[in-house]
Amino acid sequence: MPEVTLEEHLHEVKDHEAAKLISEIARMSVDIRMEFPQRMAAKKGEENKYGEMAEELDVWTNNFYCEEFKKSGLVRAVYSEELKTPVRFSEDAPFVVTIDPLDGSSNIRSNNPIGAIIGIYRKEIPTTGRSLVASLYKQYGPMTTLVYTAGKGVHEFVKFRKGKMRYCLVEENIRVPEPGKVYGMGGSPLKWIPKFREFVKYMEEEKKMKLRYCGTFVGDFNQVLHYGGMFAYPALIDKPEGKLRLFYEGIPMANIIEKAGGLSSNGKISLLDIECEDPDARTPLYVGSKELILELVERLRR
């Protein structure tokens, strides 16, 4: 297959400013990935707004993105899982971005896959996911990959080290396989709502699906995008809103799975249709193959 770089592929994106921002975000991976080894066993940073101990690398990565976004001149506001309030730059810049700058950072010490999740809007937040211009995630695994949608299809690239940094196309117009093969769930099974626990049993015993879970949403999502099935961080008995963040994690990834022919849900409706005023809101999250998500929503409704 002829080598197609990310920059060449982005020529197909009608919104040229969005294409430029996606290319800028891809370039940032070089400096970010180089920070990992020296901070692997870093001490815990300070407590974040959710009362969780942010890793030092969370804080560094967030600051790096904010500095680079400001320099790009393309971003007027950054909403981040690591910021108590959004940081604002020049008001005439075209985009507002939501970022989970380092998803899965509690997995750094164990060298599990980690990643970044980014939503790109022209409109102000809060808004629904339907107004996303583009969304993307980067996975820092054995290889650095980037998956994006700018509205027309979902496309995956892998970063080559040779020569100047470039991402090359691995697969374009990715479709979530039906039926799916794998499932993964966050949290403690003892805390999942009973109807979801029953559905997990159904996936195991009736659907004969295989458990695949790495503890990072980006890694667990990526498996479902490629092999089909479901990733869930469900509603919990003591926390009906679940753990994952609607704007920083759920909406950008829901956009990708749905543009790839899959579905997302909070147990009732698509994450892209949730109207929410709170940028820090959490949501129960179910994403995956369309038929499986429809079955789950039906069973949760009973």
Q: Which residues bind ligand AFP (CB under 6 A)?
A: 52, 103-107, 186-187, 215-217, 220, 233, 243-244
As a whole number of Å, the end-to-end CA separation of the chain is 48
Q: Is 154 exposed, middle or buried (0-12, 13-18, 19+ CB in 10 A)?
A: buried
- Rounded least distance, CB 285 to ligand AFP, Å: 9
Specify the residue, 89 or 213, whose C-beta has the smaller distance to ligand AFP. Answer: 213
- Rounded least distance, CB 120 to ligand AFP, Å: 20
CA–centroid distance for 141 within its chain: 14
Sequence-distant (≥ 6) Cβ neighbours of residue 74 within 8 angstroms: 17, 20, 21, 24, 93, 94, 95
- Rounded least distance, CB 230 to ligand AFP, Å: 13
Specify the residue, 166 or 282, whose C-beta has the smaller distance to ligand AFP. Answer: 282
Q: What is the signed CA dihedral for 91, 95, 97, 101, rounded to 10 degrees?
A: -90
- Rounded least distance, CB 279 to ligand AFP, Å: 16
- Rounded least distance, CB 253 to ligand AFP, Å: 10
For residue 189, cis peptide bond before it (omega within 30 degrees of 0): no
Specify the residue, 62 or 72, whose C-beta has the smaller distance to ligand AFP. Answer: 62
Specify the residue, 95 or 247, whose C-beta has the smaller distance to ligand AFP. Answer: 247
Alpha carbons 216 and 222: distance in angstroms, whole number: 10
- The DSSP element (H or E) to which 219 belongs, if any, is helix 217-227
Specify the residue, 21 or 104, whose C-beta has the smaller distance to ligand AFP. Answer: 104
- Rounded least distance, CB 98 to ligand AFP, Å: 14
Specify the residue, 6 or 118, whose C-beta has the smaller distance to ligand AFP. Answer: 118
Token pair belonging to 198: 């029953």
Q: How many residues does the chain have?
A: 302
Identity (one letter) of the amino acid at 15? Answer: D
Specify the residue, 104 or 252, whose C-beta has the smaller distance to ligand AFP. Answer: 104
Alpha carbons 185 and 234: distance in angstroms, whole number: 8
- Rounded least distance, CB 182 to ligand AFP, Å: 15
Judge contact between 79 and 98, C-beta under 8 A: yes
